[in-house]
Amino acid sequence: MADTLPILPGSTVVVRDVTSIYNGYQGFVQRISGRNAAVLFEGGNWDKLVTMPLKILEQA
pTM: 0.88
Phi and psi for 23 in degrees, rounded to 5? -55, 125
The predicted pLDDT at position 3 comes to 57
Where does 12-59 sit in CATH, by number?
Answer: 2.30.30.140
pLDDT at residue 1 greater than cutoff 60: no
Q: What percent of the chain has pLDDT over 70?
A: 95
Give residue 56's identity as a one-letter amino acid code: I
Mean pLDDT of the chain: 92
- Gap between the Cα atoms of 8 and 2, Å rounded: 16
pLDDT > 70? residue 24:
yes
Residue 4 confidence (pLDDT) above 90? no
* Contact status, residue 30 vs residue 40, Cβ threshold 8 Å: yes
- The residue length of the chain stands at 60
